[in-house]
Structure 1
């Protein structure tokens, strides 16, 4: 879970928790030590109260008019003093915390948080053996509580300022560290897609710079290997074309005349023999077999090397291919959009375009079970785009190219193009894109 969090979150979360923990610890320490501090600060007043009560009781006992002495003592006490005389009729002294309900500037929750000790002191005043009142010590803790509240605010403000400063520094540091990593990630993504030409910017700390340099070196190596692979594929395709051409020539020059000779002999035998009986039926069977062999030979020759591409041009050759498909599969509706500008495409590209469309239509006829198919081939900018789509049953879930499409894929890669097979909207698409620029071939 932690490893999946963004880097900034991993950096800021511990910092924020540390500052919050420091603030909480400060509050706990304040609550723990405030009680003792308040008690220590009030202790001199408690002792003064007791001393004053002893002295007053002695004076009252020695005086002939103790009531006047007591009145004079009460008048001598300042109204704001923490030490006051409380007659018996006034009742008991309320707790000090009850007098702190409305301390100006201090919230109630803070007052409740601090455990205020029982600091009240009451010393009895006796006249003629009768308890007439108490000298009480009721300290005013408002100033002390306000001081501690200001201290807590100062601590919180300091922690907040430190948090903001630390967060800003960490954010800037994280940004300066992440930008090179983001550039490195984007560069690796380009490399995964086959773009080895765009270098990764070398920036950031030395460790990241070294990684960027290594990634650029890897891109250079992969670019060279990719070029070598394309050159090898191109040579293999050229060898295959040469082999197809030689095989087509042998079939045309050797098998073609033999089939023609058999056909001519069969025709002569038919004319010289009666048309009835077992011999006549056999001659007709031979004739049909020879015609089937000739058609098969022409179809094989057409698949091995469509020689009329060089004679008619690519666009006309594709139209011928489409007419043959309509004649072979009249139950499949075929719509086509063929760019007349394809006649300007020659050589290996023309052969590849023809082969891709031929193989795609063959797959539709053999495997798709489609009712409609659409073929489009056009020049788009500096590339040649091909799309063959059908409404058939699609391809297996593993989407593995068959033998025919694998060969086409190798042809397309040799020309620095792309070939894809996908399924969308209940239709199957074979898409090919070939660059029209020259493909350098290493020797």
Structure 2
């Protein structure tokens, strides 16, 4: 197993930066922002709950304080009270300040005789106005009509609001401190959780650069390890596929070279056959003909004794037989008509020879639409296919009717030979005979196609498609 290691500090820095290629944030940063956002939402919910609780608390305290003050003063004041403002003011001064309540005493002219002293609790401080507006209840006012003035009570929740503000501020600071302390821990945990993903990304980048031997190690979590195993299987499949393609390419090159070599060998062999056929026709055949003529002439002379004439007759007969064998060999080696007259005439000459050699054989040939200048290799391959297919039908299939067709079809030369013989044997595909294998190799060397199949109810059909233009 091969793995790729990277600097975690570098990875952490890159993970927190936006992905420059796609313009999107990294997964690690998005998870961190999501967790931070959830924490901020939680803090906001807690603060909202605190503000609602403070509002309710301030309202209850204000009502309670105002109620206590009203009952307390009611104990001192009654409608029939004849106390003077001075006596009542002295009583209020001894009472002092009542929490969350402002007490004001006025005379008959409306002048303030007494007001509650300022609160000493958290003196000099007050809550922000926006906060006070959120939690402060509507003012509560109560009053007493006196004989020579009036006494009024009005709620004042500033100290309770300030207490609520202090509690809210402490809660806010605690939440922010928790966020600042927890966020680095969350960042570290998310980094550890996404580390396998970074290793997978590194592996993919290596694959992109062509390092198909890359393999991922066993990853910590179940999900990431499943992805890692799938990655390794994919990498192995790609590597196997590349190896197979490389081997196929090498095999293709070797096959092309083998075909080129086979083509050169075939051309060389045909050249040698052509020369041998020429020598047999021009030299050997004429010499045998001369020997046959001389021996025949000697066998007819009366001056020779009987034994000499018999020997001369034997020589003449042997020379005649040799002449026939030579003339049968010449078409098999290289039909001279193929060089002198062309493919169509060479095929027709061969058909005429077979008709004379095989009495009762019905062989038909049709060669048409051939180009004027046909590649020599294509010409030779077409003739050899025709020759081999017909020879097989005559020697092995016991055919009485053979049909030969040659014609161009687009950029191909189509050769077809059909017979009514006994057909192919059951094991013909596994046969190691040179004839069928030689035909197939000859066609493949030129880049053509060969089909050999049974005919119904009997017979065989050999079809070949050869390209008119053959690359070197």
State the structure with more CA Rg: 2
TM-score, normalised on structure 1? 0.49
Higher helix share: 1
